[in-house]
Structure 1
C-alpha cells in the first residue's frame, strides 16, 4: 500500500512491560493491519510509531481514535492518530530564539510550500514582531533565561495540529518527550558540516580548528544531538583572516537556504530514510529539482583522474 494511504499512530509514555502487546492487540481486534512499526526507549521514555492499514477495519475512525485514547488513559500513554485524509493540508510550527534569518526565509517562501505555517514559537519574545507582521500567531514558551516549558510547547503543537516542527535556529535542546512524539517530523539547521563541530558555538569551533572550508547542515532531529539523518548541506570558503563573526555572516544565508530546501524535501515526500541516511525517493521528484550539497558546476572542476586500479574495476575500499 502507498505510504500516503496509511494511518500513523504514535504512542509515547513512561516505559513499562506489556505496552506493545496491549496496543497491537487492540488493533488486531478491530481488523487494523500493521504495515510498519518502530519503537525505542530513551531516558525511560517509550516511543512506538506505527503505520497501519485502516481501510478494512471493523470500526469507524472515530471509534478507533476513542478506543486508543481510552487505552492511553489506562496505561498513562499519549496516543496520537493521524488518518490519511487529515494530512491533506499540513501545518508547520517554526521554533525560534533570537536570530531571524531562517524564519524570514521560510515566511517569504510560505506561498510556495504547499503547507501552512500555523504558528511561531519562541523561547524569547524577540521575534514576535516578525511573525505578527505576517499575520502568524506567536507564543513565547521561555522563562527569563530562555529555558522553554516543554509541556506548554507540546500543548501548542497539539493545539495547532502540527505535522512538521522546524527549528529555525532554536537554541535549545528538545528532550525525548518532544522528539519521540514527532519522530521524523522535526527538521533543524546546524551551522557546520556535520558530523564536524556538533553542539554549541560551531562557527567558533571551525575557526579554532583552522578549517579551509566550513558550512551548514539541515537534518532530522533525533535524541542524539546533531546526529540525525542529513537532508541538505552548503559549504563556503574560510578566508585566512576571517573572524568568527565573518564566518557567521557567510554562513547565515546558507543556513536559511539549506533549511528551506530541507523543509521542501520533507513536505513533498521526496526523501526517505534508509539505515540512517536520507535518499531521494525513486518515485519522487527528479533530483535536479533540489541541491542537497554543492552546486553541480563543482563537478566540472573536480579531478577524476588518477584513481586506484582496484577502484577502477569496482573493488571496495572499505
Structure 2
C-alpha cells in the first residue's frame, strides 16, 4: 500500500466478504471520472476490507454527490464505505484508548496542552473507568465501553469513533486486541505502544518475557496496528539495559517513560505526514529534513566496530590494501 498523501482521496470499504464488491465500487468510480492510484484488499475472519487511494481532481460530480452515491451503494451491498477527501485530513482528531495504566495518557495530555501535538484530543475511551479522572482534568470526554470484566463493546467503540470523527486512534496501553472490524476501518491510522523490541516478545507480560529469556537489553516499540498481534509496521523504538536480577516492576519503571516517549514521537511523525509504510516497513519521507529518532541514537553508530568484515582477509592475503 502506498502512503496516504494530502492530494489523494482515501476510500475504505469494510463488510462481510462477498463476490463482486470490488467491481461494484471501481465501476462507480470509473463512471464519475475518478482515477484509482492504488488499491489494497484483505479478508480476515470473514471481514472484507478494501482501501483505495484515488485522484478526484477531475471527477465529474461534486464531493457531496460522490458521498451520496457511495452511501447508496454501501447500503445496497451491505457494507460500510468511508470517503476522506484531502481537506478532511487537514485538522486531525485523536481518540485515545486506555485500560488502567496512566503514564502514556498523561504524556499525551501534557504534550497536547503544551501545543506539541498538532491535533485535537477529542475523546478518551476505556474498557475500565480508572482513568476517567485524568480525562476530566483536561476536560476531555471519557467513555467506558467495558463490562465488569473489562470486555469492550466494539459496536459502541465504532459508534464513538464515528461520532467524534476520529482521524487517529492511539492505544495508550490499551490491553485489548482490536478485531478486524475495527482495524480494517482505520487502516494505517491506529498506533500502539508495546513494551518490547518487537518482533521479540509480543503479547502479554513482555517485560517478564525479557527477564525469563535473559536478554541484556530490552526496549519499547511504537507501531501501526494490523490484524496480526504486535506485528504491524514499526515506527519508533527505544532501548535500555536490563539490570542484573531485575524484576518485572523494575523494568516497568525504566520502560514506562520510554513507552511514552516512543509513542509521542510516533504520533508526531504520523500527524506531520513524515512517515509512510512501504512493503511493511516505515520510512521517513524526507530523512534529510527530519530529526526523528526512529531507532537508537546516531552516537551508537560511531561506537560500533567496523572490523573485521567478510572478505577483508582475502584482500590482505592477495597483497591489496584495506580501506581505512
Report the TM range for the smaller structure's normalisation.
over 0.9
Larger radius of gyration: 2
Question: 1:240: Cα distance to partner?
Answer: 1.1
What is the distance in 1 between the residues matched to 2:197 and 2:92? 29
1:141 alignment partner in structure 2: 145
2:244 alignment partner in structure 1: 240
**TM-score normalised by length of structure 2:** 0.93
- Given that 1:187 and 1:220 are in contact with CA atoms closer than 8 Å, whether structure 2 keeps it comes out as yes
| Inter-CA distance 26–235: structure 2 relative to 1 (3 Å threshold) | same
2:76 alignment partner in structure 1: 74
Which of 202, 227, 233 is the aligned partner of 2:231? 227
Which of 175, 182, 185 is the aligned partner of 1:178? 182
Question: 1:310: Cα distance to partner?
Answer: 6.6
Structure 2: 5+ residue stretches without partners: 316-324
1:280 is the counterpart of 2:284: yes
Offset from partner CA, 1:260-289 (integer Å, 9 cap, x none): 01111111111111111111113x7723x2
Offset from partner CA, 1:216-248 (integer Å, 9 cap, x none): 100000000000000011111111111111011
What is the distance in 2 between the residues matched to 1:257 and 1:251? 10
**TM-score normalised by length of structure 1:** 0.95
SS of match in other structure, 1:222 = coil
Question: 1:32: Cα distance to partner?
Answer: 1.2
Question: 1:312: Cα distance to partner?
Answer: 11
Offset from partner CA, 1:64-85 (integer Å, 9 cap, x none): 0011001101111001111111
Q: How does 1:22-101 map onto structure 2 within 5 Å?
A: 22-101=24-103
Question: 1:300: Cα distance to partner?
Answer: 2.8
1:267 alignment partner in structure 2: 271
2:105 alignment partner in structure 1: 103
What is the distance in 2 between the residues matched to 1:310 and 1:4? 48
Q: How does 1:269-308 map onto structure 2 within 5 Å?
A: 269-282=273-286, 286-287=289-290, 289-308=291-310
Q: CA RMSD in A?
A: 1.6
2:218 alignment partner in structure 1: 214
Structure 1: 5+ residue stretches without partners: 314-318
SS of match in other structure, 2:19 = coil
Count of residue correspondences: 310
